[in-house]
Structure 1
Amino acid sequence: MTKRKPDPVLSSTDPALRKVSRKISQTRLGLVVERGLRAFWPALSLLAVAVAALAFGLAELPAGVFWGIVLLWALALCATLAIGFRAFHWPSRAEALARVDETLPGRPLTALGDGMALGGDDPATAALWQAHMTRMAERAKAAKAVRPDPDLAPRDPYALRMTAILLLVVALVFGAPARMFNPGAVPGGTAPALAAMGPSWEGWAEPPRYTGQPGLYLNNLKTDTLTLPEGTRFSFRFYGDASAIGFTESVSSPAAVPQSEATTDVSRRDFEAVQNGIVEISANGGRKFDITIAPDNAPEVALTGSVERRADGTMVLPFHASDDYAVTSGQAKIKLDLAAIPRKFGLKIDPEPRETLIFDLPMPYTGSRSDFDGSLVEQAEKHPWANLPVKLELDVTDGRGQTGSSGWQEITLPGRRFFDPLASALIEMRQDLLWNRENGPYVAEILKALNNRATDLIRSTEVRVLLRGVIGRLDQGLETPGVRDELADMLWQMAELVEDGGLSNALERMQRAQERLSEAMRNGASQDEIDKLMQELKEATDDYIRMLAERNKDQGDQPPQDGQQQGQQITGDQLQQMMDEIQRLMKEGLMAEAQELLEQFNRMMENMQVTQGQGEGNQQMQSLRDTLRDQQELSDEAFRDLQNGEQGQGQQGQGQQGQSQGQQNGQGQQSGEGQPGQGNGSSGQSLSERQRALRQELDRQKGLLPDLGSEESDRAQKRLNDAGEAMERAEEALREGDNGRALDNQAEAIQSLRDGMQALNNAQNGEERRQAGQQGEQGEARGGEGGQNGQREVPRDPLGRSAGDGNRVGTDENMLQGENPYGRARDLLDEIRRRQAERDRSADERDYLDRLLDRF
């Protein structure tokens, strides 16, 4: 145990510890400053504001206003002082010692004040305690004074103290501190003081800010000849007797009247220089300035190249702009060139008036704006004028407000180009609709013609649904521009779905990419568009090759039988080389040769067979069974929903009337909120949304089915297509709230699914029997040639491999054994190349290696 002793630092005779006592006293003084600032910073801020106000001439205000401000300030000062005195507490020496002790390891100052409570009679204990005290004394000698830390930020969250300090500094630097004690002792204080000074003047010339040139104080200039930018602002101030100062100038506009604000002895002149001339002041220290005005020419702008169209329809407009000083802003204005548009089909009638299309030209963020090149990149592919003749004008403005123009030029407004014929037709209908709302009936007739052959022309079920929705809205009429724009967005969405695909079958995506690329080459598409389509073809081809690998995965590494080896064998490297060659020919402008090679590539890919194993067929059949089960469950929910709706309506006749009215109100609507057929399933989706998801899943499964080339296979595809169409009709009925009609269509979809599954099963069984029959015939042919057990002994080469059946070259054995046969093949090829490069080998050996490389 320990007991406290008197302050060991004060009572110590050690000079080092006496120095620590001074550090504690300094820290105590710092605590006084710290607590004083915390308590009195509002009062000190008020004092700083008062000094700044007096330095800027507060005492020159009318007496009533001045003393009113002083009274309010005094009350605020008294309140802050009272709060400060209440919050201030004088620090003790013990608090200062504790503050210093906190900075030392082990708190030695506190330890030096401790004493032994027990064990003082034991010499060993006393010696240990003395060693402890000696060590604490040594640590205490490292003590330093602690700086005050007012930490005013939490107490002044709005930084009012900093504002007061700033005002005080500005007043001392730029104000006149003498005004606090003698307001009339400084220039401009009172009229008698100015009068005592005699006539004098001051003048400034300030060039426009956009020129970047500095302002001039005319009194300090050594020269009387000045060259200044047009628009320079002159300001003169005259002190003393105004009648004793003569002033003339001839640089401002003759129509301009200089503003003047004069009293008995002070006047001012402000004007803008726009022409060459003189400025003369005749008085004590007068000057005559010969002014030359540098003209400020209007800015210039021009196109530096043709307008470019990127693959996604983005417009790229290169331009060059220049000015004497800086271009501040610019615009690109586009208006329809009606005289250059072929007036036929939907464009035959006059267009609805539209405002000029305006884009802001990009300005450099860094560097000079006096002379620069830029490119305007904007999205205009959805504008009604996209891909139509327009007129373009570039305008730029400088800091003086002068404008430069490139003049109107005829261009075609860049927009996205659709190479699929159906997508192109939909975009044309969209353009006709946006051209004038009176084209609504005409567009509706064209879309109805497409809808009449929707199953043959439109692969995507979603596009067919959107098409029918657009037709329904067009039949209702286009009363407002908002309805027209909404239908235009739907047509754009349909065109994108058709153009970009969305097909689940990789082979169809690849063929679609080939058709679009071929169409683009025939229509003279830009290089950027061709590059994009070529990239899409590469990606679609990669997907198709990946699909082949996945479908053949279940067959293992065994080679196909003779009856199956009818497709053309081609490697990924060969495909890549062919596509690279097509791209090279297109870049060199040899479109005819590229088109021919593309057709050859198309025929090669069509000859590739997609084989399918038994395991995959079972998996596809199971997926169709799951779809059938989900459709039955959805039909049961729709039936229960219909029953609940009839019970809530009461009488059967009223229910039929309500159902008819619901169908009329729901016609053309896209959502089914509030309709009887829109009950929620377990997933929270409406019945129509679940029906739509089920139909999309069936579309995906149909794309994965193989084409077995039999009547049963064709029948299976037809019945599954019928099921998809019935699901589509059920979806529309559920959206309109007609659950009765939806149940009929769902029943038709269920029956079509069953028929399609049965036909697919028959087709798969027939294919298996055909393959088994081919294998049996081949076995009989080999077995009839003798040998043990009816089999002919096949000759083998020295390595033990079968030399073939005598009618063909090769072997029936699986040569691709091991974990990574293709990797081993690459290693062998690399080894052959390495050995062929060794010059010390014999000529015969290197010749043999050359033949191997040429072969493989």
Structure 2
Amino acid sequence: MANTPLPHPVQNSAFEAKIRKARWAVVAEQAWLRVWVLFAIAAVFLVLSIAGVWALLGPTTHKIVLALFAAALAGWIGYVLQIRLPSREESIRRIEAVSGIPHRPATSYEDTLTASATDPSTQAIWSAHRQRMADLIAKLRPGRPEPRTYRFDPFAVRALSVLAVVLGIAFAGRGTLDSLADAFRFDREASTINQRLDAWLTPPAYTGRPPLMLVDGSANTGAAPVAAADSPDAKPLDVPERSVLIVRSTGTGKSNIALEVWPAGAKEPLPAIEPAADAKPAAGITEVRTEIRASGTIKAISAGNVVASWPINMIPDNAPGIALTKNPERTSKGALKLTYFVQDDYGVASAEVKFARKKDKDAGDPSTAWARGEELKGPRPPFSRPPQLSLRLPNGNAKSGEAFTYHEIGSHPWSGQTVLMTLEAKDVAGQVGQSPAIEIVLPERTFTKPLARALIEQRKLLIEDPRYSERVLKALIALTAAPEGFIDDPRVYLPLRATVHRLAGRQLTRSVLDETIDQLWHTALRIEDGALSDAEKNLRDIQDKLAKALEEGASDEEIRQLMQEMREAFREFAEQMQKQNGDQNQQQAGNDQNQEQMSAEDIDRMMREMEQMAENGLRDQAKEMLAQMQDMMERMQQGQQNQQQAKQNQEMQNAMRKMGEVANEQQDLMNETFEQQQQGKDPVQGGKNTGEQTTQNLRNGRAGQQGQQRGEQQDNGPSSGNPLGGQEQGEAPGEGQSGKNSLGQRQAQLREKLAKLQKEMRERGLEPSEQLGEAEKSMKGAEESLEQGDLDQANQQQAQALEQLREGAEQMAQQMQQNGNQQAGENGENSRDPMGRPQRSQGPDQGRSVKVPDQIDIQRAREVLEELRKRAGDAQRPQLELDYIDRLLRWN
């Protein structure tokens, strides 16, 4: 075994494989260091290209820098190619060094003995040595390549270069190749054509539409525009008005992107839109934007080339619309209710009411100067500003819907004036829509107490023209001169005295005038409603605060606090209303059972529901319920006012009935005077004028007499059972009064009865017309003429008194009709008209309001008809009276 020869290492295939691996490891170590330099050159080139540096360089500099990169790259590639394969000895030495086995076993194994070493012992020793080397060779390993780059790059710049390349490629994305291609484009225009382009449309926020991406930079823009407007496949983009087109380009260099707008049908574009002067974009990034205001085509231009174009179809944003759906409704408290419909493409942002004074066409016209009041001298302070009223919008920012709004306008100086009213709506874009102007009379508060009405009258004088201040001052001084028994409330007297001192001791400026007008208003409210006015004001203020809190999204705690305050305010308001009205509601309940009522339980229930809605986030529904509650409260107040108005109308009807009795008695007295005159004078000479008056009196007196039942008269005048006067049927004129008071005494009693009636009317808060006072004077004259025996003059004065009574009754009837019309305008659901009859809007009448004539009414009609026939056959009566009676008979 010892004498067996060992194989030569060349014949050892395993060892040869190790030598080959070691040889390539040496090559890899050399190449790794040289390739890293080559990668660093390429990384710098790539980063500069992605950053768009080539576009920032001029053509010459561009070529020089590119040449330097090419030279460095070519030189280093040549240096890389100079790498040689190591020799066998170098590979063996590497294996021995990497393996760490001492005495270089592979080299020793390949050594040989000299030819002279033939000694057997020497051969034996050599063979043992080689055997040991062979065993060590099996333990040798070629090892992995170890370039030890840190010796040349201790700060690891190579890692930063790799990171820069990765980030640059991620940023450029698909445009990396285009950026690299820019390094080899030396023409300036060509470098701007092929670029990254991003474009998108942003609709206005109020439209609720998402942005629309037009170009995302993924397309190659070098060959053709990204989007061509003249392409057969190009479809117009439907874009809302005021959308913003944003175009952002990368790598444009000194040739910035611009937009060219071609309106539809235009032959020339609008001036180009450049990037904003104050914009500070990042290096190599240019952004330009424009707002879409019309249809057309928008082109993106760079260096005179169209890089993209888009056809635009603009969706116009129409102005909002608003219009009344019902006629304005007024309340006796001076509130105005407006019901309206609003609409807009994307929702209405706000709405309001605007008022303008109606110009007086007769102002300055000499032909109407006689009808105008005295012309005041001196400078006139400017008029008060019109009321500013905002309108509530439909819930949820709806694009269309109906809503209503209450506004207390009775306290404003413009209340009661004829104005032009316009509703105005505004959308988020600032567009304004208006309704047609209509002429209305602004509502004003109705006052029934004389002192309150007097103060309001003086307030109107100050509002009409502040130069009436001297007259107002004198009136207030007269009102407060003797307050005992007239003004018992110190909260009324003291403000009046303060107003007197304000007008007397200070210059009448706008602030002083406004303070005086407000003070007179609040004082009149105190006189009219007492503590109810303060409670009502407090309730309205809290309702306004709650509506504002719901609108602005206040916290739940604040909403609960305002709800509690509103409960307390309503409780106080209800108590004050009950104190003011007393048992009036119970008295009127039987007259109007259909009137809408609202109890404290209803209010509390609505408040609880409103609070729950607010806590659950349903703020719009809570606002709607608050508006409904305000509407119901207005109706409740209007119901109370209607009851008061009904009571006043009833008193006025009683006054008119008594006035009719006075007129009937005056008619009978005039007939007796006329017949006594006929007995003493020639009917042709003395009875012509009086006959005409009697005919007129007959026309006027019968209307007030028909329809009254027997027993209605309360005084000692003639019975209304006889439709013709104070004598029974068949009695001769004058015989019914035989042995009684003379005509003059009866005329005096009748005058006193009229005076008593006027006094009762004033005590009940009714204002008698001036015609009643004139009738009393005429009765006084007739009384004196009767005492003097001048029957002709007495008959004329009696006819005049009768005519004045008729005119006074007509004025009272017109006043009742106006009250009824005002009441109908204030509340569209009145259950009865001014005469106490059910309205047709309240449902079928079912015949309950139609009174079927009874036997007494039929008998009275027969008596009137028989008397007319009797008088028609009297040939001594004036022809005018006979013609009138004949027409009455033909009409029946």
If the TM-score is normalised by the length of the shorter chain, which range does it land in? 0.3 to 0.5
Higher relative contact order (CA 8 A, sep 6+): 2
- For normalisation by structure 2, the TM-score amounts to 0.35
- For normalisation by structure 1, the TM-score amounts to 0.36
Q: Which has the larger radius of gyration?
A: 2
